[in-house]
């Protein structure tokens, strides 16, 4: 039976970098955010988004993700509505992906809102990636076309590190990539993950 490692962390913590390193070591990785983008192109999900948020967030029939983000990242209730549509569809997509990777001992499910979505309940092991707040803000400003105020607003919508850490089996401090990689290698050893399984 394949075991699921839940990998989480706040915006800018560098969890995708950590996920990529696990992948290099032979652990398949499912990125929930990519799964969400995929399912949000399905007719069923688009129809539910239209009914919930209205036609005006669509341009020529195509969902304007920036318009939707403006609505949900400034309003916790609206975010809950979106998550109620997207999360069940992502869960279904992940289950299909998991079947394709059932020969692996461990796989990684990477999600920013692992706890908020309830996905942590399906995980056998949970890893939280952390980094100091200023480093996280700088990373997001470099990566996204956004403002400091918007980054802080998104941080405030997520669980804080203390709560994540209290619910996790392992914590990776990602303020320094070399040290973070050493911590990953240690976790791989502890869990007995065979590297570069094929």
Binding residues for ATP: 12-17
Please give the torsion angle defined by the CA atoms of residues 31, 34, 35 and 39, in that order, rounded to the nearest 10 degrees.
Answer: 170
- 8 Å CB contact between 111 and 158: no
Distance CA 20, CA 13 (A): 14
DSSP string spanning 55-75?
A: GGGEETTEE-HHHHHHHHTT-
Binding site: what residues are annotated? 12-17
From residue 57, how far is each of 33, 48, 184 by CA, in Å? 20, 13, 41
DSSP code for 188: H
- 8 Å CB contact between 119 and 91: yes
């Amino acid at each position: 039976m394949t075991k699921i490692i839940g990998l989480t962390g706040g915006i800018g913590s560098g969890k995708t970098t950590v996920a990529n390193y696990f992948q290099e070591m032979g652990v398949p990785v499912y990125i929930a955010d990519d799964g969400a983008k995929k399912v949000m192109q399905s007719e069923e999900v688009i129809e539910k988004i239209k009914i919930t948020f209205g036609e005006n967030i669509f341009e020529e029939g195509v969902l304007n993700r920036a318009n939707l983000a403006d609505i949900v990242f400034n309003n916790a209730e609206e975010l809950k509505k979106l998550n109620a549509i997207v999360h069940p569809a992502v869960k279904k997509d992940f289950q299909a992906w998991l079947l394709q990777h059932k020969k692996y001992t461990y796989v990684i499910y990477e999600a920013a809102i692992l706890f908020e979505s309830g996905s942590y309940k399906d995980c056998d092991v949970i890893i939280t990636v952390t980094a100091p707040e200023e480093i996280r803000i700088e990373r997001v400003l470099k990566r996204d076309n956004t403002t400091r105020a918007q980054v802080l607003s998104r941080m405030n919508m997520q669980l804080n590190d203390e709560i994540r850490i209290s619910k996790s089996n392992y914590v990776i401090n990602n303020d320094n990539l070399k040290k973070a990689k050493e911590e990953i290698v240690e976790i791989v050893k502890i869990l007995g993950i065979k590297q570069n399984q094929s």
